[in-house]
Chain A
Amino acid sequence: MNLRLSKPWLDFDAETLSRVPGQLGVFQLADAGGDVLYIGYAGGKSLFGLRSELQSHMDAEGAVSFRFEVNMQYLTRYKELLMLHKADHSRLPALNALEPPVRLGRLG
């Protein structure tokens, strides 16, 4: 079982986003160097699931690529990805650090 997201990175542009499914799940945004800038999720409030959630982040500074995972356990998976990132890099992704989640757990 691969805990970390390992899906291929896709171009973060309108045309690619239009093909993203409207399902629930988690996603990552990355900069040109492949560093994860932001981890997010599409939950029950997302109008068109991952597609609209990703579209709402089009103005994320420095984001040039994204990847996603359809997942009904989107909240716990989201927290897991944040915790894994923190365990790997000793910090949250830059854009998540601006509004850190309350009481994020620790792995390790």
Chain B
Amino acid sequence: MDLELSEEQRIIVETVRRFVRDEIVPLEADLDPDGSALEPADQERLVAKTKAMGFYGLDIPPAYGGPDIDIMTRTLMAIEMAQHRAGLYAPCYGVFGGAGLAQLFEANEDQKQRYLYPTLRGEKHGFFGLTEPSGGSDPARAIQTAAVKDGDDWVINGGKIFISGADVADYGIIFARTDKAGGRNGITCFIVDADAPGFHVRRIVHTLRSTSYATELQFEDMRIPATNVLGEVNKGFAVANDRLTRQRIPYSAGCIGVAVKAQEMAIAYANQRETFGDLLATRQGIQWMIVDNEIDIRTSRWLTLAAADKANRGEPYRTEAAMAKLVASEAGGRVVDRAMQIHGGYGMTKDLPLERWYREIRIRRVGEGPSEVQRLIMARDLLGGSFH
């Protein structure tokens, strides 16, 4: 794989880097350290800028109005977009837009009219509901939410947990068991309206992230028309799985972006802070931390770009994406941790973004499939087995 950027990629990366530095970082100075939203006027102004730059809606296919930017370049951009305080979970505060729920591009035309196009126009918001209290790592077996056919409708009972954005969404994509004996072949994907009778947001689930929460959902005799089945009945697992694999590349890129910024901060601080009459940078203990950081960053970057490269070429990339996600999320955590150590007391404060990254990046080792599941995915592929 040739890791040298093309001239176009270099220009794009430099443009995004400048955008983060000149437009995003200055605004953060006035926000709460845990904030994840810009003032509406700033949001509007910056969205207009990214549209003018031709970078709005990066993961929207060109056929639907998105820019024609390949996955490799989008990954390079995602690494840049994460390099600010809120960057891990709110890269550039969303001013580059996004496709939202990519599964809707596979929907039928009626569903696209009702959900996809309004979402792309910013009129509707969706959520993704897979994990249940019974587990999230093994959705094929853990899903207990049941959908039973009743005339032209499906009646759904059950619940979901750790679901982001369901309380502010207009609709969601959820997965329910439609064949008890079918295992992974007994799951169906549904589009549900958030105002459907029987749809309940039961509570907020607080996490390490102060800025944003998850929700717990309950479905009580929630009646969904058969026209809202996304894809085929009993084939929903493939829809979920495809999404999980695809998400792992930008997920990894975010971890790398934060790690790059933490390393920059650590180097700058080591070169200015004195202890016992000399700069921190002259201390071997600090030097080794900086070097270990760099190894972690470059390893993560190499693996993530390798996954993006395979995806770009249309080749299977499940193993590569799992490896990238595993390494980038764990290495990113180590880098932030070392950067905090180098900063000493200041590293623990809300004056710097490190403490926020430290909390948020810990979630990355679990979100979108924990490290252990990534290893399981790779072991399956490497050993060619369907064991569990």
Contact = CB atoms under 8 A, between A and B. Distances in A.
Interface of A: 3, 43-45, 72-77, 79-80, 83, 102-108
A77 B206 contact: yes
Given A73-B210, A76-B209, A106-B201, A83 B35 contact: no
Interface of B: 32-35, 37, 40, 167-168, 200-204, 206-207, 209-213, 215, 350
Contacts of B201: 105-108
Given A102-B37, A107-B201, A108-B200, A80 B350 contact: no
B209 A83 contact: no
Contact of B32 (A75, A83, A108): A75
B211 A75 contact: yes
Contacts of B211: 75-76
22 contacts: A43-B32, A43-B34, A44-B32, A72-B210, A73-B206, A74-B34, A74-B210, A75-B210, A75-B211, A76-B204, A76-B206, A76-B207, A76-B210, A76-B211, A76-B212, A79-B213, A80-B204, A103-B168, A105-B168, A107-B204, A108-B200, A108-B201
Contacts, number: 58
A45 B33 contact: yes
A73 B35 CA distance: 11
B206 A3 contact: no
Query: Which DSSP category, helix, strand, loop or mixed, fits chain B's interface?
Result: loop
Given A3-B203, A75-B35, 7 more contacts: A73-B206, A73-B210, A76-B209, A76-B210, A80-B213, A102-B37, A103-B168
Contacts of A83: 167, 204
Contacts of A3: 203
| Interface class of chain A by DSSP | loop
A3 B204 CA distance: 9
A2 to B, nearest CB: 12
B34 A44 contact: yes
Nearest to B194: A106
Contacts of A43: 32-35
B240 to A, nearest CB: 24
Contacts of B206: 73, 76-77, 80
